[in-house]
Amino acid sequence: MDMRTRVNTALKQAMKDRAASRLATLRLINAAIKDMEIAARGDGEEITIADSDILAILSKMTKQRNESARAYEEGGRLDLAERELEEIAIIEEFLPKQLAEDEVVDAIRAAVAGTGANSIRDMGKVMGALKSKYTGQMDFGKVGPLVKDQLCSGGDC
């Protein structure tokens, strides 16, 4: 079952269950997917969004909510932070399992070897390979410095 169908099925179930907060979050996901489709249309032709694009949307939504929750906690608004964390839990139901730290390091090593990268100039190739294979499974904001460390281990930086 593709991601779009999974989201729509969960949305219908939330309506039946009268789960208001879950329904609101699923509607936000659906709206973000539709926004991306509208933006991709361009010339008026129908374009379906790939699962990898939906995973990127969900990852972005999770990151935004993590930042918001952190800001709310710092501001003493624990009720709002809790709501953001609940939304994250719902969004993460549709994301693949996150890789453990050692799995991320192994994936980086494999991508460096697979692309033939040997200097920091090849970082884009390595990141592209990782994004194509591991979208939604790792935080690329944290992966970037690890890739840089791996490429700079030869002393080229």
Domain boundary assignment for the chain: 3-92, 101-152
If 0-12 CB within 10 Å is exposed, 13-18 middle and 19+ buried, where does residue 146 land? middle
- Position 155 pLDDT exceeds 90: no
Q: Could you tell me the pLDDT band of residue 135, with boundaries at 50, 70 and 90?
A: confident
Alpha carbon dihedral 133, 3, 142, 89, in 10-degree steps, equals -150
3-92 has which CATH code?
1.10.1510.10
Structure tokens at 141: 């904001």
- Domain 101-152 belongs to what topology? Arc Repressor Mutant, subunit A (1.10.10)
Structure tokens at 7: 């989201």
- Position 47 pLDDT exceeds 80: no
- Position 70 pLDDT exceeds 90: yes
| One-letter amino acid for residue 20 of the chain | A
pLDDT of residue 23: 95
pLDDT of residue 55: 86
Tell me whether the CATH fold assigned to 3-92 matches the one assigned to 101-152. no
Model-level pTM? Answer: 0.72
